[in-house]
Chain A
């Protein structure tokens, strides 16, 4: 299986979408990015990333119930898929591998 590369923003969005389950939709993801990671991202970029991840099969989405708070317009909730979770884990594993390699180096900082 050819693994698709996951970008940094994609990784963050996927992590947040997974963590906020089942309440993950674009606006709250954007807000989380700002609050937790201090990353200012425009809404359309969040949408782009979400759609890209969905087309890669890492996320799936479905429309929720209509709520009065946004004029009856339905939200689109995103859920992480199994392959998405696997991809995240793999990214983490590789990264930890690299990190442990790094720690093995004996730095001589002055």
Chain B
């Protein structure tokens, strides 16, 4: 015989009072079996379930013995809560503003974090995909295929070449676009989960001359229709045109992918290119993005360690090179430290800093709430006493105060929601983020909001509820008993904790601000103002046109120096291998190898680099292409490592080796002709490396102009660009912008930290204000009597302020070492940093005292100058 599910029976048992249970469950069983027999068990189950609900409504357990007043009591709690909220308006305003602003900060930070942590989570095999990387986000072309071939743990591998940028592509001859192109192996769309709109996942890249477009690229090139089956022409830097057959269209890549691309062509195009053959085989040459998918059971660390074996087997038996397996899902946040990468990155440190700030703000706002609630406790003690006398249980009182706290938290949340809605557009513009993006995942936000709400509501309400509900009626109803007149120890601890946090924030803000200014004002070691750079795309073509370009530019008014270069400060200097005179071994290009900085003619003059000795590269001397210049750090390193003979570096030889064509080969042997002063060849955050400066033709045109002529120059170059035959689209960059860009995100982050710190401090002050207001109100009579007996206003002020200032003093003592610890950790990120001085600490402490004093002074002053007749009149 069918039986209703056990849990429904259980429900019936728990809901319906016992003396009715037998009859009801008997009747229900009878009907159940009848329905089960005629209409099936599931219908019967549904029927049974609803009947249980109906019965439980009528015959709730215990209903016959006592009339339950939970609901009406709850209504009463709500009513009392509303009355209290309205009665103590200032208190409510402080709580609601504090909570509202605090929660708004927390929510904004949460939205930001949900975007930053949501990258690359959509790939089907994402959990098992790793990228091979060590000092760069890419690696040699050999590693991937060898891993796949030789290790069974590696299920698949996939290589990309992300360096084909600014290429001219066209469908019709008269319409040419300049686009970035991604080269990927044929299993690209199977390996990753970028969905295709049309085309075959496994076949669309298997033909050598095929191309796959994003939906919007397809629309751009082919109007509205699908381009599948049509021909796309791609021009390389030498002007050779390759015709590609459109074989598929993929959905536009979402922002939350570290890999951004619109056009994909087969990797085979590079692989089969005879000019790339050497590069394909070269081991120490990193240029290919490589991903592997591991077996679910494989241990990534173990597979990672196989690289040592591979390196010994294929490259150098006596050498060790290690790489990292970076999990695809962590790639965006965790590999921002790499020297160079094609992928976009977030910063995990920023993410954790923001998390910490969110928590601090939430804590400070909650502490306000707790403090004010407990401080006002004895105002409520009569109510508690009366309720208890009339038979209220402690549980009921706890739930009453919980109701009140939850209500205030709820109002705070509404305020926070409104604030967030108001400031999101502003934050978006200022931070150059799109916080609306996070709404794509609403369930995540809903869950987070509920969790934050529950946390805040419980955290703020449990302690006050316990304190309030534990009053003994006899004490609280006895007139004139004010045991809680001063500040309770617990409250003192909270205030000290809150203010210590604020002092930490103040001191940190000061130092962060100082460091930001320091970085901005630090001398880069070269002239960045009014230096413009243009990327010509091809060094061969530039070389051919150079005499024309140079003379035309030099004739332009305002132009001071015209230079040619491969690297511009801010670029990554390459690691290759060098053999310095006095040293017989090639140095290891990884680890602490030498970096090379490649510049062309007149670049030293354009950057206004200062020569310590020797001379600069001279375009009039053709033999100068085989000369080197060292920076001062490089010179020092040479003396240290290769002997004292380097004390006199001019004329010493350096051999330069690369592995571009496979094996290490001597590329250039030359002499040192000069030493330049150290300059920041990359961002200020990194220290200046010892570098070897090469004289090599590059693709960059660098022009130094007088200030008023930059726009004229820009127009001139743009006009001439196609006449000069540049294979890429016109582009330009101010050197200053490039350096500012390096700091922009850092700068923005620091500004946000500062803003959040200020808000946190403001919220803490709000709490202090409320507390001081309360405690002076408590002592109104005492102050009145003191005044009558002759106390002066200053002495009263001193007495009233001292209570708080003692706490602030204690907070400072605690906060100083903590803030020094945190900030010095943060400063470690910078190669060049300000020192934490006693002034930072002193100023921070001083500010904290001033802020605290200022906050409480309104209340203390008001109390001190009040007329005692008023306060003593009523008794």
Indicate if A48 sits at the interface (CB-CB under 8 A). yes
| Main SS class of interface, B | helix
Within the complex, the shortest CB–CB distance from B110 to chain A, in Å, comes to: 46
For chain B, which range describes its interface: under 10, 10 to 19, 20 to 34, or 35 or more residues?
10 to 19
| Chain B contacts for A76, CB-based, 8 A | 23
Q: Which of B27-35, B88-96, B484-492, B645-653 contacts A (4 or more CB under 8 A)?
A: B27-35
Question: Would A47 and B26 count as touching, CB distance under 8 A?
Answer: no
| Chain A contacts for B22, CB-based, 8 A | 63, 73-74
* A71 and chain B: residue at smallest CB distance: B29
Indicate if B189 sits at the interface (CB-CB under 8 A). no
Question: Would B31 and A44 count as touching, CB distance under 8 A?
Answer: no
Q: How far is the CA of A76 from the CA of B22 in the complex (A)?
A: 9
| Chain A contacts for B520, CB-based, 8 A | none
Question: Would B31 and A43 count as touching, CB distance under 8 A?
Answer: yes
| Chain A contacts for B31, CB-based, 8 A | 27, 30, 43
Q: How far is the CA of A74 from the CA of B21 in the complex (A)?
A: 10
Indicate if A25 sits at the interface (CB-CB under 8 A). yes
Q: How far is the CA of A73 from the CA of B54 in the complex (A)?
A: 20
User: How would residues 39 to 73 of chain A score, 1 for a CB under 8 Å from any chain B CB and 0 otherwise?
Assistant: 00011110110000000000000010000011101
Within the complex, the shortest CB–CB distance from B25 to chain A, in Å, comes to: 6
User: How would residues 287 to 331 of chain B score, 1 for a CB under 8 Å from any chain A CB and 0 otherwise?
Assistant: 000000000000000000000000000000000000000000000
CB contacts under 8 Å to B, within A1-53, are 25-27, 30, 42-45, 47-48
CB contacts under 8 Å to A, within B1-47, are 22-31
| Chain A contacts for B30, CB-based, 8 A | 27, 69-70
Question: Would B27 and A25 count as touching, CB distance under 8 A?
Answer: yes
* B24 and chain A: residue at smallest CB distance: A47
Question: Would A43 and B27 count as touching, CB distance under 8 A?
Answer: yes
Indicate if B830 sits at the interface (CB-CB under 8 A). no
Q: Which of A30, A45, A48, A73 contacts B26 (CB 8 A)?
A: A73
* B57 and chain A: residue at smallest CB distance: A44
Q: How far is the CA of A30 from the CA of B24 in the complex (A)?
A: 13
Indicate if B851 sits at the interface (CB-CB under 8 A). no
Question: Would A75 and B58 count as touching, CB distance under 8 A?
Answer: no
Question: Would A44 and B55 count as touching, CB distance under 8 A?
Answer: yes
Question: Would B51 and A73 count as touching, CB distance under 8 A?
Answer: no
Question: Would A42 and B23 count as touching, CB distance under 8 A?
Answer: no
Q: Which of A30, A45, A69, A74 contacts B23 (CB 8 A)?
A: A74
User: How would residues 61 to 99 of chain A score, 1 for a CB under 8 Å from any chain B CB and 0 otherwise?
Assistant: 001000001110111100000000000000000000000
Q: How far is the CA of A42 from the CA of B23 in the complex (A)?
A: 15
| Chain B contacts for A25, CB-based, 8 A | 27
| Chain B contacts for A74, CB-based, 8 A | 22-23, 26
| Chain B contacts for A71, CB-based, 8 A | 26, 29
Q: How far is the CA of A63 from the CA of B20 in the complex (A)?
A: 11
* B22 and chain A: residue at smallest CB distance: A73
Within the complex, the shortest CB–CB distance from A77 to chain B, in Å, comes to: 10
Within the complex, the shortest CB–CB distance from B10 to chain A, in Å, comes to: 16
Within the complex, the shortest CB–CB distance from B5 to chain A, in Å, comes to: 16
Within the complex, the shortest CB–CB distance from A58 to chain B, in Å, comes to: 19
Within the complex, the shortest CB–CB distance from B709 to chain A, in Å, comes to: 91
* B3 and chain A: residue at smallest CB distance: A71
From known contacts A30-B31, A70-B30, A73-B29, infer whether A44 and B54 are also in contact, taking CB-CB under 8 Å: yes
Q: How far is the CA of A43 from the CA of B31 in the complex (A)?
A: 8
Q: How far is the CA of A71 from the CA of B24 in the complex (A)?
A: 13
Q: How far is the CA of A26 from the CA of B30 in the complex (A)?
A: 10
Q: How far is the CA of A6 from the CA of B58 in the complex (A)?
A: 20
Q: How far is the CA of A27 from the CA of B34 in the complex (A)?
A: 11
Within the complex, the shortest CB–CB distance from B34 to chain A, in Å, comes to: 8
Within the complex, the shortest CB–CB distance from A71 to chain B, in Å, comes to: 6
Within the complex, the shortest CB–CB distance from B457 to chain A, in Å, comes to: 37
Question: Would B27 and A26 count as touching, CB distance under 8 A?
Answer: yes
Within the complex, the shortest CB–CB distance from B552 to chain A, in Å, comes to: 95
| Chain A contacts for B50, CB-based, 8 A | 42
Q: How far is the CA of A74 from the CA of B530 in the complex (A)?
A: 100
Question: Would A48 and B58 count as touching, CB distance under 8 A?
Answer: yes
* A75 and chain B: residue at smallest CB distance: B26
Question: Would B54 and A75 count as touching, CB distance under 8 A?
Answer: no
Q: How far is the CA of A3 from the CA of B743 in the complex (A)?
A: 90
Centre residue among B24, B25, B30, B58 by max chain A CB count within 10 A: B30
Within the complex, the shortest CB–CB distance from B760 to chain A, in Å, comes to: 56
Q: How far is the CA of A15 from the CA of B22 in the complex (A)?
A: 25
Question: Would B29 and A47 count as touching, CB distance under 8 A?
Answer: no
Question: Would B55 and A47 count as touching, CB distance under 8 A?
Answer: yes
CB contacts under 8 Å to A, within B491-550, are none
Q: How far is the CA of A63 from the CA of B19 in the complex (A)?
A: 11
Question: Would B54 and A42 count as touching, CB distance under 8 A?
Answer: yes
Question: Would A43 and B28 count as touching, CB distance under 8 A?
Answer: yes
CB contacts under 8 Å to A, within B806-835, are none
| Chain B contacts for A69, CB-based, 8 A | 30
Q: How far is the CA of A44 from the CA of B27 in the complex (A)?
A: 10
Question: Would B54 and A27 count as touching, CB distance under 8 A?
Answer: no
Question: Would A73 and B25 count as touching, CB distance under 8 A?
Answer: yes
* A72 and chain B: residue at smallest CB distance: B26
| Chain A contacts for B27, CB-based, 8 A | 25-27, 43, 47, 75
Q: How far is the CA of A63 from the CA of B21 in the complex (A)?
A: 13
Question: Would B29 and A70 count as touching, CB distance under 8 A?
Answer: yes
Q: How far is the CA of A30 from the CA of B31 in the complex (A)?
A: 10
* B26 and chain A: residue at smallest CB distance: A73
Question: Would A44 and B51 count as touching, CB distance under 8 A?
Answer: yes
From known contacts A42-B51, A42-B54, infer whether A75 and B29 are also in contact, taking CB-CB under 8 Å: no
From known contacts A27-B30, A30-B31, A70-B29, infer whether A63 and B23 are also in contact, taking CB-CB under 8 Å: yes
Question: Would B25 and A47 count as touching, CB distance under 8 A?
Answer: no
Q: How far is the CA of A44 from the CA of B55 in the complex (A)?
A: 6
Q: How far is the CA of A80 from the CA of B170 in the complex (A)?
A: 96
* B25 and chain A: residue at smallest CB distance: A73
Question: Would A73 and B58 count as touching, CB distance under 8 A?
Answer: no
| Chain B contacts for A30, CB-based, 8 A | 31
| Chain B contacts for A43, CB-based, 8 A | 27-28, 31, 51
Q: How far is the CA of A26 from the CA of B28 in the complex (A)?
A: 10
| Chain B contacts for A42, CB-based, 8 A | 50-51, 54
Give the 4 A-B CB pairs with smallest separation, nearest first.
A73-B26, A44-B54, A76-B23, A70-B26
Instruction: List 13 interface pairs A-B (beta carbons < 8 Å), by A numbering.
Output: A25-B27, A27-B27, A27-B30, A27-B31, A43-B51, A44-B58, A45-B54, A69-B30, A70-B29, A71-B29, A73-B22, A74-B22, A74-B26
Which residues of B line the A interface, CB within 8 A?
Answer: 22-31, 50-51, 54-55, 58
Can you add 19 more A-B contacts, CB < 8 Å, to A70-B26, A73-B22? A26-B23, A26-B27, A42-B50, A42-B54, A43-B27, A43-B28, A44-B54, A44-B55, A47-B27, A47-B55, A63-B22, A69-B30, A70-B29, A73-B23, A74-B22, A74-B23, A75-B23, A75-B26, A76-B23
